[in-house]
Amino acid sequence: MNQKLVMLGSLGLGLLGAGVGVTGYFDGTLHYCQPVKNGCIEKSLPDWLNPPSGAINISYSRGNAGIKLLGSLFGIGGFVTAMHLSRTLLSVEPQKEKLRSLWNGHTLARERLRAEADLQSYANQVMLEAAEVAYSIIEPYQPDLPLLEGDTLDDVIDPGDKVVGSSSQVLEGTITTAPSTWIDHFISSTALIWGNQGSGKSWMARYIAKLKKEKGYRVVVLDPDSNRAEWQGVESYHDFDEIADFLKWYVAELTGRYQEFNHSNMAEDAWRAKLWADGRALAVVCEEVTTYVDLIEDKDLLTQFFRLGLTKSRKQEMPLTFVSHNNTQSALGGIKGLANLIEKMLQLELQTDINPDTLQPVASGRGAVKLDGSNQWTPVTLPKLERKITDFRTDADRVSDTRSYLERQFLPPRAEPPQVPREPLNQPTREGSGDAEPRFTALNLTREQAIELINQLRTELNQTQVIETLWRCKKGGSAAWGNAREQFRELIGE
């Protein structure tokens, strides 16, 4: 029902009732004729008065008391109803505006995140293709390039090294079949992965860490039984002093985020979207968590870390993944009071078989999942891993590695930061370059190399992107940009 129409109808009813209430006489009327010498004079008076003596032709007309009372009641009721509805509308409109503002904010945040993701994906693809084109052109002029540490140049520039969409291409340590949907629960929620020795829980934790990295989390690994070579592409800590320092930071960061959220006027969904937009989404993988209580002296810190992590981490986009041998209270170092929290948390049990020849436990490929807050265990088939994942780099990481490689190969070392201009254009020529051929771009290319590379890049990039990529300067009014644009026009013959 439209409240505005009801309010206007009530107001009209009030006006009609008021009109009836003020129309006509309330009391009855006596009409009579007062005799005079030449006849009589017509007169009237209320029926509750007596006519004067000698009055003739006395008659009586009834009053409108009932109708006037009824009209007055309708008038009062209409005015009161209209006033109440008007006050209600005045309070509803700001509430609607507030809800509309929240909805618009959520929509804007969602669209911004989608646009940023699309833009980043396109930028990564362009940079990969630019690096491939650059190397294919420059390779004939650089016959003795040194290789990257622990890799070959083909491994770095190989176009097949990219992952596009939901491709089932097998990379190092990834699965050979499409991932199961149940694994999605373990990407953004705090969870416990447990199983006997040989069940494959560490490999599964690495696979989930890779999914977290691909989703966009800043992944931090706490693994006292490993080193950074085992966790390339993610942030990792292995010394117990480093692990303790990180736990202190985590507790302070999580409590600080809650304080910041409590003092804001943002809804929870908008707040979490802002954490992602600001690059503050964090996922922590805790390997060998049972040993923390034995080797970290600050037991209060451990208690805070486990309690906050199990109860408060998800809504602040700071989920934890614990890896342990069992799902009892001892799984988290025997910290008292955690048994009920562990029982309710998201869990993945990895089951084992016994090798009949060696009588040793081996991974069976089977598991069971218990969802957060549930007591029901659901059997699942685990993803098949070809080998242990040690490289967690994404496309963006590979672009950065490729860019660093090209800079190391083609840019001369500088002992001190450049002074003026801050965005270098032509690099210094080699010794004895009094009559040497001029060099172009930040890669120190000859004219022929630069022209060939520009022509290749222009098939994929516009003029601004080509200049920014080759001269390493941003579009604007700086002298570096102006000089770069002039050199670009000279090289393409404009």
Q: Which helix (H) or strand (E) holds 479?
A: helix 479-492
The 346-354 sheet, strands edge to edge: 235-237, 218-222, 282-286, 320-324, 191-195, 346-354, 361-370, 377-381
**Per-residue confidence (pLDDT) for residue 412, from 0 to 100:** 54
Q: How far apart are the first and last CA of the chain?
A: 69
Q: Report H helices in 139-165.
A: 153-157
Quick one: which of 399, 350, 359, 424 has its CA closest to 125? 399
Q: From CA 193, how far away is CA 197, in angstroms rounded?
A: 12
Residue 212, pLDDT > 90, answer: yes
- 427 has pLDDT over 70: no
Residue 139 — pLDDT band, cuts 50, 70, 90?
low
Confidence (pLDDT) at 245: 94
Asked if 479 and 140 count as a contact pair (C-beta separation under 8 A), the reply is no
Distances (CA, A) of 113 to 273, 313, 440: 8, 22, 38
Tens digits of residue pLDDT in 154-202: 544 444 444 333 333 334 444 444 455 889 999 999 999 998 888 888 8
> How far apart are the C-alpha atoms of 186 and 205, rounded to whole Å?
10
Fold of 173-390: Rossmann fold (3.40.50)
Tokens of 332: 């988290």
DSSP letters spanning 248-301: HHHHHHHHHHHHHHHTS---HHHHHHHHHHTT--EEEEETTGGGHHHH---HHH
Q: Where are the domains of the chain?
A: 3-98, 110-147+396-429+437-492, 173-390
Q: Give me the pLDDT at residue 370, please.
A: 92
What would the two tokens of residue 55 be? 């009055």
Percent of the chain at pLDDT exceeding 70: 79
pLDDT (0 to 100) of residue 12: 84
Per-residue tokens: 71: 């009209």
Residue 36 φ/ψ region, left for φ over 0, alpha for ψ in the -120 to 50 degree band, beta for the rest: beta
- Confidence class of residue 360 from pLDDT cuts 50, 70 and 90? confident
Q: How far apart are CA 444 and CA 408, in angstroms?
A: 12
**pLDDT band, very low/low/confident/very high, at 402 (cuts 50, 70, 90):** low
Alpha-carbon distance of 252 to 235, in angstroms, equals: 19
**Higher-confidence position of 26 and 72:** 72
What is the pTM assigned to this prediction? 0.49
Instruction: Specify the amino acid at residue 37.
Output: K
Which residue would you say has higher pLDDT here, 460 or 309? 309
With a cut of 80, say whether residue 264 has pLDDT above it.
yes
Give whichever of 120-134, 164-178, 306-320, 384-398 has the largest mean pLDDT. Answer: 306-320
Say how far apart CA 298 and CA 248 lie, in whole Å: 10
Which residues contact residue 73 at a Cβ distance below 8 angstroms, ignoring those fewer than 6 apart? 17
Distance of alpha carbon 412 from the chain centroid: 41
Cα(248)–Cα(237) distance, integer angstroms: 13
Say if residue 454's pLDDT is above 70.
Answer: yes
pLDDT for 148 beyond 50: no
* Residue 332 predicted with pLDDT over 60: yes
Give the per-residue pLDDT at 68. Answer: 72
The rounded distance, in Å, linking the Cα atoms of 321 and 196 is: 17
The pLDDT, as a whole number, for residue 273 is: 93
Which region among 136-150, 251-265, 445-459 has the lowest average model confidence (pLDDT)?
136-150
Predicted pLDDT of residue 400:
63
Q: How far is CA 352 from CA 202, 254, 290, 361, in A?
A: 14, 36, 20, 6
Average pLDDT (407-411) is 57
pLDDT of residue 171: 40
Q: Which one has a higher pLDDT value, 351 or 17?
A: 351
Q: Which two tokens stand for residue 361?
A: 């436990």
Which SS3 state, helix, strand or coil, does residue 57 take?
A: strand
Higher pLDDT, 339 or 252: 252
Number of residues in the chain? 494
Contacts by residues 111-118 (CB-CB < 8 Å, ≥ 24 positions apart): 112/277, 113/273, 113/276, 113/277, 116/277
Q: Which residue has the higher pLDDT, 149 or 165?
A: 149
The winner for highest mean pLDDT among 16-30, 234-248, 396-410 is 234-248
Q: Is it the case that residue 415 has pLDDT exceeding 60?
A: no
The band of 261, judged by pLDDT with boundaries at 50, 70 and 90, is very high
Which residue's structure tokens are 């993945």? 348
Mean pLDDT of 401-411: 59
For residue 369, give the 3-state DSSP assignment.
strand
